[in-house]
Amino acid sequence: MAAARVLVTGASGFIAKHCIAELIRRGYEVRATLRNPARKDEVITSVGHAGADASGVEFVQADLLRDEGWDGAVAGCDYVLHVASPFPLDEPRSPDDLIRPAREGTLRVLDAATRARVKRVVQTSSIVAISLPWPDSEPGHVFTEKEWSNPDRPGATSYAVSKTLAERAAWDFVKSTPNAPELATVNPALVLGPAVDTDLSSSHEVLRLMAIGAYPAAPKIGFPVSDVRDVAITHVLAMTNPKAAGERFLSANGFMRLIEVGRMMTEILPDLKAKVPRRELPNWVVRTIALFDARLKPTLPDLSHPRPISNAKAHTLLEQSFRSPQEAVTAAVSSLRALHVI
C-alpha cells in the first residue's frame, strides 16, 4: 500500500519544519508549500537538522493571499497540516496584515481541500484563541479547549485576533460546507524546543533578546510551554486518530514565568548571567515602556495574570505524553548557542 500523502503549508516556519520531520520519520509522503520557492534548499537543510532526510519532499509555491496554486498543492493529498500563518514579534501597522492571511489563507486551504476530497485538515491555531476571554477569568482558572478568546477584548493583540478569527472561520467552514474535510486544531502556547536554523521563531527571538541584555528586567508574565517536537507529534496524531475529528487540542505542558526562563538560561549558559533579566518590573513600568517599545505591547494582557491550561484531552484521546517545560527551554537555549545566535 502506498504511503499517505500529506500537504504541509508554510514549510519555512519553525513548527512546519518539525512537522515535516515527524511525518518523514513516520513514513508519510510529504508535499510542502512555500511562498518563496527559492527557500527550498534552506528548508531541506533545516529539516535535516531536525533529524529527517527531506530530500524527497515535493515543494510547491502557494501564497495565503492568492488563489493560485492551492488546487495543485492539495491534489492527491490524503491529509493537510495547515501550519502557515504569520507571527511577528512586533504589532503590525495594521491588524489586517495578520488577520487577512490567517483567515483568508485558512479558507483557501479548506476550499481547495474540499475540492480535492482531502480526508482531514489539521489547523495550527494557538493558545491565544482560547485563553483571552472577556470578562477576564478568575485567578487560578485552568483553561481547556472548550473556551474561546474574545477577539473584541480590549487589549487583544492583532496576533490573538488573527488566530481566533482564523480558527473560528475554519470551524464555520466545515460545519456549513458539503463534503468538507474533517477538521482538528492544535493550540500550542510558548513554543520552544530545538531551533534548526537561524531563521528564528518569535519565541526563540524572545530568548535571543534576553541573552543579549535587551531586557535587564522581565515583565511579570508567564506562559504554558510547548516543546516544538511535541507540537509536531500532536499534529500527526490529530491527523489520523479517528477520535480527533472535530476536536481542538492544547499542546503544551506546565507553566514558566519569564524570569524563571531567564534563570534557566544562566544555569545552562553561565556566561549569560550578566545579561538576562535578574528581576521583575512593576506592571506600571511595563505599561509605560510599552508606549514606546511595541515589542512589550503583547505582554500587557498577561501581566500578573497567569493562564494555566490543561492538556488532559491530548493525554487521554491521543494518548500523548509531553516533555517538561525545562526540557523545552534547555533544548532551545542549547540549540541557539550551537547556532551561534547567543
Give φ, ψ of 148 to 5 degrees.
Answer: -130, 140
Catalytic entry in 163, 220, 297, 313: 163
Cell numbers representing residue 59 in the block: 515543494
What are the residues whose beta carbons fall under 8 Å from the beta carbon of 249, sequence distance 6 or more?
Answer: 145, 184, 185, 186, 187, 234, 238, 311, 313, 314, 317, 318
Q: How far apart are CA 6 and CA 12, in angstroms?
A: 16
Computed from CA positions of residues 11, 51, 27, 167, in that sequence, does the dihedral angle turn out positive or negative?
negative
Torsion of CA 236, 323, 316, 142, to 10 degrees: -110
Angle of helix 40-49 versus helix 14-25 axis, rounded to 10: 70
Give φ, ψ of 6 to 5 degrees.
Answer: -125, 130
Q: What is the DSSP letter of 30?
A: E
Q: How far apart are CA 275 and CA 156, in angstroms?
A: 30
122 beta partners: 81, 184
CA 43 to chain centre: 17
CA 268 to chain centre: 25
Q: How far apart are CA 215 and CA 85, in angstroms?
A: 27
- 163 catalytic? Reply is yes
The CB density around residue 95, as the number of other CB atoms within 10 Å, is 17
Residues carrying an active site annotation: 163
